[in-house]
Chain A
Amino acid sequence: MASYSEAQNQAGNQAGNQAANQAGRGSRTIQLISFTVGNEEYGVDIMAVREIRAWSETTPLPNTPEVVRGVINMRGAIVPIFDLRARFGMPRTEPTKYNVVIIVSVASRIVGILVDAVSDIITINEDEVRPMPEMEQVSGIGFMEGLITVGERMVGLIGLDRMFSGRMLEAAEMGQRPLLAGPSAESAGAA
């Protein structure tokens, strides 16, 4: 158990360092768009954000994990929408018209992230991004790049590249296999 969390910690540290390295050495400022999922606040690099739009009904994709809400038509492009709440291992969002979809571009693809609401634009020095603390294995932690403190609030910095690395279906279903019985894993794997 100890070695496990140690490894985690190391990963977390690496994540923090990576975030710092990505922005370059020293104290460059970065801007984040922050949003809420439940009571938690997260942020993504503003440079990746293409647009922010209200939730609209999606067309579900068959045999995809809970995280994938389906696809929407964004000016002629077919854009998949991911449910961040489900990605964190919570129940799927029950979206209303007040829910928000943040359209980001990651690795030459355009995807949407369903969140509760957009809260802020945060400008910080990159050395203010602190590595993820050592903690128990919790879903979603793998794509966190670090933590930011804004006043009294804690904002989790999401690494989009990590969240959508490789094949999206794999990224989306990560960790779901153990609980869902064979068929789902197999059919998703087949897809």
Chain B
Amino acid sequence: MDDLQQFKQTFFQECEELLGDLEGHLMALQHGEGDSNTLNAVFRAIHSIKGGAGAFGFDRLVAFAHIFETVLDLMRDGRLQPEPDSVALVLHCADILSDLVRAAQSDSELPLQHEEEGRKALIALAATIGVNADPHAADDELAALDAELAAQAASVAPPEPAAEPEAPKAALLKYLVKFAPRDALYQRANEPLILIRELRQLGGFLAKADASTIPPLDQLKPEAAYIRWEFEIETDRGEQAIWDVFEFVTDDCDLEVTCLNPPAQAAAAPAAVTPAAAPAATPAIETPKPAAAANPAPKSPPVAAPMQQQAAPQQAVPQAAGAAGAGPAGAGAAGGEAAKAVRSIRVDLDRVDKLVNMVGELVITHAMIAQQTEHLHADQHPELANGLAELSHHIRDLQESVMAMRAQPVKSVFARLPRLVRELATLTNKKIRLEMSGENTEIDKTVIEQLGDPLTHMIRNSADHGIESPEDRMAAGKPAEGLIHVSADQRGGRIVIEISDDGRGINREKVMKKAIEKKLVSADAVLSNEEIDNLIFLPGFSTADQVSNISGRGVGMDVVRQNIQALGGRVHIQSRPGHGSSFILTLPLTLAVLDGMVLKVGVQSYILPLANIVESLRPEGDQINVVANASQLLRIRGEYVPLVYLHRIFKVPGGIDDPTKALVIIVEMEDGSKMGLVVDEIIGQQQVVIKSLEENFDPIRGVGAATILGNGRVSLILDVAGIKYIAEHETHRPAAIALQGGKAQPGIALAAS
């Protein structure tokens, strides 16, 4: 049961990947960039999902995928042209398919009519060229196949009447097909009988099985492939049709197709294609080799991944075989793709995390050694100095490699966006085009996982508030179709994601009015354009006149900001009224490492996350105002920021009390409010490895986590929200601060538990 569960999980993981790839290919189709390879890729993805779904008994999914696949197959064959309408249908059906996959994954039932419309449209589309894609026929066929398999009917029955009308008329040619499966073919759960049945449908058929290589029973290996076949096929469908039958197994068998009565003009072409198309098509039958020797590879997959090998046939085979199948179109590129598919393994994330941690330790240990040897003269200990320099170099390489292991292209999040935009366009009756760039930019997996929701929110915001209706756009002299551009880019150790639209931009007057109305800013406040734009990130802010289905409940943008800040990132908006707005999101490359500023307060040093820092300054005396004899406010560019003394909050002895002699760091909270943190000095910027404090202790307010500095000492990473909380709860009692400043009394009697 557990095994099955595990296989299922693998299947859904693959579905996720396949659906992601699918979106990419569909985008290409939609933009008219698709070629036969794209269609092939789409077909294979659907086919793989169908195959896996069949294995787990997701019948609805299988039934729908089957019709879908039939239509795609027709497109692939060129019998259906990828017109805008049919492409739109394919896109729509891909959405339905992914719904069905999710429903299967979450064990929930979608309403039956969910796929009905798409199903009917597909059948109708197929019917336009006279193909019956009805699933019930398919069901019967599947059932018949099952029965046949169960009965182990190994001999080949006379051909069924081929149910493929309207095939392009071509000369009836006779082919000799030599088919010798290798062990791997069976190991990947392929069934030659299915292939033979499919082959038989091509036309007149004669099959010969060569069982001569079957060894005596005591030498027979139950998992080895012994039987080879020769088929004579008379068909008008061309040689490619034969190759197509074997599309998914070409890597796992020796296959040879020769035309026995080539017409003069057709003779040259297939002959030229054959060797390139099938590197595996060595004349295996003429020079028989022991099957095991011919293909030892399947016997020695990496031991770490046997489960995946078995569980992933659906994925591995189509990729490899698909690339080979695409051979006639572009053999060179396809070969490379196949090689790439084989060269990846699935690794448990925990193992990678452990590695990341160990490298973190190594970085710290190295820093310690380097610090210890600092006072030694390099010319007296040249080997030590060289060794350390080399070590440092290697560690940096190692760190980068390990981080790269956790990194994933943002493509996996971006892949969901086209569908989102399509749905939003339908819901809002707008025309929206989505463009994406930099999908291959890599970010830490954890960041990616948590990026989905904020990104969705921002796209919704752009589609709902940014892009105007087609009429308004025309009136403003813009094309009717709005554009949302999503890009990802790596800039200086951080990832920058930008979501821009060419809509109406932010209506600053309206935003300001709303903000005053909701008492988010005072009525007489003077804010810069940028500050007004960024008001939309405040909690409880929404300017939508009508609360729409999509956005406008006022929970959007502040949650976005919170999510992004929780990831150690920042988000802000730039807007040009009438020309559109852009959300700019900067994220750290990884969550294991944090960019921090090392601060000194009294005898202690702390790390302040760089993401929180707006600026630092040493204020002039007249910039400081005292309110209610206790709270100090720093006036900076017309804004009043409360001053918070870190040494008072944390009761660190020896901190500087005079803000004009200390340093004020303006930090920004998750809710957008600001605070001036008073510290003694800034020591410098440093990348630190984040260590949990809660592993062995309890959470402490004002402290987010800990890290280990180069000298081996623990340093605490500040949590500004917590510091603000303490500050707010102590400013009410200014006297208490003074009392707390002194040492707590010794000799306290502790009560028994």
Which residue of chain B has its CB nearest to the CB of A136?
B752
- The smallest C-beta distance from A103 to any residue of chain B, in angstroms, reads 10
Are A139 and B700 in contact (CB-based, < 8 A)? no
Are A79 and B716 in contact (CB-based, < 8 A)? no
19 example contacts (A-B, Cβ-Cβ < 8 A) are as follows A8-B752, A63-B700, A73-B708, A76-B361, A77-B696, A78-B691, A79-B696, A89-B748, A91-B747, A138-B749, A140-B752, A142-B753, A165-B753, A175-B749, A181-B739, A184-B740, A187-B740, A190-B729, A191-B698
Which residue of chain A has its CB nearest to the CB of B701?
A191
The complex places the Cα of A184 from the Cα of B357 at a distance, in Å, of 36
- Of the listed stretches B137-145, B487-495, B644-652, chain A binds B644-652
The complex places the Cα of A71 from the Cα of B619 at a distance, in Å, of 34
Instruction: Report if A143 contacts B (CB, 8 A).
Output: yes
Known: A63-B700, A78-B691, A78-B706. A87 touches B716 (CB 8 A): no
The complex places the Cα of A91 from the Cα of B704 at a distance, in Å, of 30
Q: Could you give, for residues 177-191 of chain A, a 1 whenever the CB lies within 8 Å of some chain B CB and a 0 otherwise? A: 011111110110011
The number of A-B residue pairs with CB atoms under 8 Å apart is 149
Q: For window 713-753 of chain B, which residues contact chain A by CB distance below 8 Å?
A: 713-716, 725-726, 729-730, 733, 736, 739-740, 744-753
Which residue of chain A has its CB nearest to the CB of B647?
A62
Instruction: Report if B699 contacts A (CB, 8 A).
Output: yes
- Chain A residues within an 8 Å CB radius of B509: none
Query: Which of B702, B706, B713, B715 meets A63, CB within 8 Å?
Result: B702
Q: Could you give, for residues 19-61 of chain A, a 1 whenever the CB lies within 8 Å of some chain B CB and a 0 otherwise? A: 0000000000000000000000000000000000000011111
Q: For window 88-105 of chain A, which residues contact chain B by CB distance below 8 Å?
A: 88-92
The complex places the Cα of A118 from the Cα of B698 at a distance, in Å, of 28
Most buried by B among A73, A141, A169, A179: A73
- Chain B residues within an 8 Å CB radius of A90: 746-747
Query: Which of A76, A168, A182 meets B691, CB within 8 Å?
Result: A76
Q: A73-B714, A89-B747, A139-B751 are in contact. List 5 more A-B contacts (CB 8 A).
A: A78-B696, A111-B697, A175-B750, A176-B750, A186-B729
The complex places the Cα of A186 from the Cα of B737 at a distance, in Å, of 13
Query: Which of A64, A87, A175, A179 meets B700, CB within 8 Å?
Result: A64
Which residue of chain B has its CB nearest to the CB of A189?
B701
The complex places the Cα of A57 from the Cα of B708 at a distance, in Å, of 14
Are A190 and B701 in contact (CB-based, < 8 A)? yes
Query: Which of B744, B745, B752 meets A138, CB within 8 Å?
Result: B752
Most buried by B among A61, A72, A110, A178: A61
The complex places the Cα of A134 from the Cα of B693 at a distance, in Å, of 39
The complex places the Cα of A111 from the Cα of B698 at a distance, in Å, of 12
- Chain A residues within an 8 Å CB radius of B715: 59
Which residue of chain A has its CB nearest to the CB of B712?
A73
The complex places the Cα of A63 from the Cα of B701 at a distance, in Å, of 8
Instruction: Report if B692 contacts A (CB, 8 A).
Output: yes
Are B698 and A78 in contact (CB-based, < 8 A)? no
Are B651 and A63 in contact (CB-based, < 8 A)? yes
Are B729 and A73 in contact (CB-based, < 8 A)? no
- Chain B residues within an 8 Å CB radius of A165: 753
Are A57 and B713 in contact (CB-based, < 8 A)? yes
Known: A59-B715, A61-B703, A162-B753. A179 touches B697 (CB 8 A): no
The complex places the Cα of A165 from the Cα of B696 at a distance, in Å, of 13
Instruction: Report if B20 contacts A (CB, 8 A).
Output: no
Query: Which of B360, B693, B744 meets A76, CB within 8 Å?
Result: B360
Instruction: Report if A109 contacts B (CB, 8 A).
Output: yes
Are B701 and A92 in contact (CB-based, < 8 A)? no
The complex places the Cα of A110 from the Cα of B716 at a distance, in Å, of 18
Instruction: Report if A153 contacts B (CB, 8 A).
Output: no
Q: Could you give, for residues 118-131 of chain A, a 1 whenever the CB lies within 8 Å of some chain B CB and a 0 otherwise? A: 00000000000000
The complex places the Cα of A11 from the Cα of B753 at a distance, in Å, of 10
- The smallest C-beta distance from A82 to any residue of chain B, in angstroms, reads 10
- The smallest C-beta distance from B594 to any residue of chain A, in angstroms, reads 15
Are B698 and A62 in contact (CB-based, < 8 A)? no
Are B746 and A91 in contact (CB-based, < 8 A)? yes
Instruction: Report if B685 contacts A (CB, 8 A).
Output: no
Which residue of chain B has its CB nearest to the CB of A111?
B696
Instruction: Report if B695 contacts A (CB, 8 A).
Output: yes
- The smallest C-beta distance from A181 to any residue of chain B, in angstroms, reads 7
Query: Which of A71, A80, A89, A190 meets B750, CB within 8 Å?
Result: A89
Instruction: Report if B604 contacts A (CB, 8 A).
Output: yes
Are B751 and A174 in contact (CB-based, < 8 A)? yes
Are B750 and A61 in contact (CB-based, < 8 A)? no
Sorted nearest first, the 4 A-B pairs with minimum C-beta distance are A139-B750, A142-B753, A175-B750, A62-B650
The complex places the Cα of A57 from the Cα of B749 at a distance, in Å, of 26
Q: Could you give, for residues 128-154 of chain A, a 1 whenever the CB lies within 8 Å of some chain B CB and a 0 otherwise? A: 000000000111111100000000000
Most buried by B among A63, A92, A181: A63
Which residue of chain B has its CB nearest to the CB of A60?
B604
Query: Which of A110, A139, A168 meets B752, CB within 8 Å?
Result: A139
Which residue of chain A has its CB nearest to the CB of B736?
A183
Known: A71-B697, A73-B714. A187 touches B726 (CB 8 A): yes
- Chain A residues within an 8 Å CB radius of B696: 77-80, 109-111
Which residue of chain B has its CB nearest to the CB of A142?
B753
The complex places the Cα of A78 from the Cα of B715 at a distance, in Å, of 10
Which residue of chain A has its CB nearest to the CB of B708?
A73
Which residue of chain A has its CB nearest to the CB of B737?
A183
Instruction: Report if B364 contacts A (CB, 8 A).
Output: yes
- Chain A residues within an 8 Å CB radius of B739: 181, 183
- Chain A residues within an 8 Å CB radius of B730: 183, 187
Which residue of chain B has its CB nearest to the CB of A169?
B698
- Chain A residues within an 8 Å CB radius of B652: 60, 62
- Chain A residues within an 8 Å CB radius of B697: 61, 71, 78, 80, 109, 111, 168-169
- Chain A residues within an 8 Å CB radius of B748: 66, 89, 139, 175-176, 179-180
- Chain A residues within an 8 Å CB radius of B702: 62-63, 191
- The smallest C-beta distance from A112 to any residue of chain B, in angstroms, reads 9
Which residue of chain B has its CB nearest to the CB of A87?
B750
- The smallest C-beta distance from A71 to any residue of chain B, in angstroms, reads 5
Are A175 and B751 in contact (CB-based, < 8 A)? yes
Which residue of chain B has its CB nearest to the CB of A61?
B700
Known: A59-B714, A61-B703. A89 touches B604 (CB 8 A): no
The complex places the Cα of A173 from the Cα of B650 at a distance, in Å, of 17
Are A66 and B695 in contact (CB-based, < 8 A)? no
- Chain B residues within an 8 Å CB radius of A75: 361
- The smallest C-beta distance from A88 to any residue of chain B, in angstroms, reads 8
Which residue of chain B has its CB nearest to the CB of A68?
B697
- Chain A residues within an 8 Å CB radius of B712: 73
Which residue of chain A has its CB nearest to the CB of B729?
A190
The complex places the Cα of A190 from the Cα of B730 at a distance, in Å, of 11
Are B364 and A139 in contact (CB-based, < 8 A)? no
- Chain A residues within an 8 Å CB radius of B695: 77-78, 109
Which residue of chain A has its CB nearest to the CB of B650?
A62
- The smallest C-beta distance from A141 to any residue of chain B, in angstroms, reads 5
The complex places the Cα of A75 from the Cα of B360 at a distance, in Å, of 11
Which residue of chain B has its CB nearest to the CB of A191?
B701
Query: Which of A63, A80, A92 meets B650, CB within 8 Å?
Result: A63
- Chain A residues within an 8 Å CB radius of B692: 78
- The smallest C-beta distance from B663 to any residue of chain A, in angstroms, reads 19
Are A92 and B703 in contact (CB-based, < 8 A)? no
Q: For window 156-209 of chain B, which residues contact chain A by CB distance below 8 Å?
A: none
The complex places the Cα of A87 from the Cα of B650 at a distance, in Å, of 22
The complex places the Cα of A70 from the Cα of B658 at a distance, in Å, of 28
Are B693 and A71 in contact (CB-based, < 8 A)? yes
Most buried by A among B364, B695, B715: B695
Known: A59-B714, A179-B745. A141 touches B752 (CB 8 A): yes
- The smallest C-beta distance from A62 to any residue of chain B, in angstroms, reads 4
- Chain A residues within an 8 Å CB radius of B716: 59, 61-62
Query: Which of A76, A141, A182, A186 meets B364, CB within 8 Å?
Result: A76
The complex places the Cα of A139 from the Cα of B361 at a distance, in Å, of 40
- The smallest C-beta distance from A132 to any residue of chain B, in angstroms, reads 10
- Chain A residues within an 8 Å CB radius of B714: 58-59, 70-73, 78
Query: Which of A73, A142, A168 meets B713, CB within 8 Å?
Result: A73
The complex places the Cα of A110 from the Cα of B361 at a distance, in Å, of 18
